[in-house]
Structure 1
Amino acid sequence: MPSTMQMVTFAAWRDDALLSYRLADRRYVTLAELVVRLGSYGLGLTWKARMFDEQPRPAFARMMEASAGAGIPTLELLAMDAPYMQAVDSEVEGYMGNELVLILREFDSSSWDVRTADAWVLSEIQRSYPDTRPMTPDEWDSTN
């Protein structure tokens, strides 16, 4: 990946806004949510899934198998259980043609890490998840 890549991280579990009639709900940011937040940028990507666990959940194992080789288009990725999938200790790489342009990595069911050189992607992540903070290369390497 080019040296201009930047890395950020944010909490995977979110407290939804308090409503006057109920307490806040906790929800998990899914892979599908992240991909959808990329809008038209994400639609042009092809994806490859990897998991660091030797025993991936069946849905993620199917995603890894389908994305092996040339990868899978965004809409196919979203159709593969992604809206419900908690992708513990995994990463999904986004390619524009043959160039790796984005990595979405879920770490230990507690955070999402994003690596890209695209300023718009970084600003969209920061806008959507205000607790986003920069990561150092050492932090990125230690969660891999």
Structure 2
Amino acid sequence: MMLSICAWRGDHYVSLHELLDLIGHFFAECRWSVQVNEVAPEPGAELLEDCDSSRLMLLHELIRISAPNIQVIDGEITAIDNDGNASLLLRAVDSTSWDIETANTEALARVRESFGDAVEIPD
């Protein structure tokens, strides 16, 4: 199932760091692939921009490089389980929204609880 949320809440940007704080623990055992095509120029943004999508990292590594001030404009962050399957896909869409795709109903419920305007995207 996929949900989409607005990335901007007034003048507050919902960052990757914030999403990981919200639902990352549901995917704590996963390895993470990061493919960021564009980020806003902020101190530390180069850490995300320089990620090699073939190098999988642990959740705590991803949280460390995704500082709360970094705005992902375009990119995909994927949690990959021990069987090599994608458990979660976070897609930054033109800096305006985040698409969140997962079969984890608890994670989706948490997103809906935190972002009441989340919209379900049909498969």
TM-score between the two structures when normalised by the length of structure 2: 0.84
Kept in 2, the 8 Å contact 1:7–1:116? The answer is yes
Q: How does 1:92-103 map to 2 (within 5 A)?
A: 92-97=77-82, 98-103=84-89
Which residue does 2:109 correspond to in 1? 123
Q: How does 1:1-144 map to 2 (within 5 A)?
A: 6-15=1-10, 26-38=11-23, 40-52=25-37, 58-62=46-50, 64-65=51-52, 67-69=53-55, 71-97=56-82, 98-137=84-123
| Sequence identity (%) | 28
Kept in 2, the 8 Å contact 1:35–1:42? The answer is no
After superposition, what is the alpha-carbon deviation per residue over 1:14-45, rounded to whole angstroms, capped at 9, x for unaligned? 13xxxxxxxxxx20000011011115313222
* RMSD of aligned Cα (Å): 1.9
How many residues align structurally?
A: 117
Which residue does 1:3 correspond to in 2? none
TM-score between the two structures when normalised by the length of structure 1: 0.73
- Amino acid corresponding to residue 45 of structure 1 in structure 2: C
Distance in structure 2 (CA, Å) of the matches to 1:88 and 1:130: 22
- Higher percent of residues as strand: 2
Task: List runs of 5+ in structure 2 lacking aligned partners.
Answer: none
SS at match of 2:72: coil
State the structure with more CA Rg: 1
SS at match of 1:105: strand
- Amino acid corresponding to residue 12 of structure 1 in structure 2: A
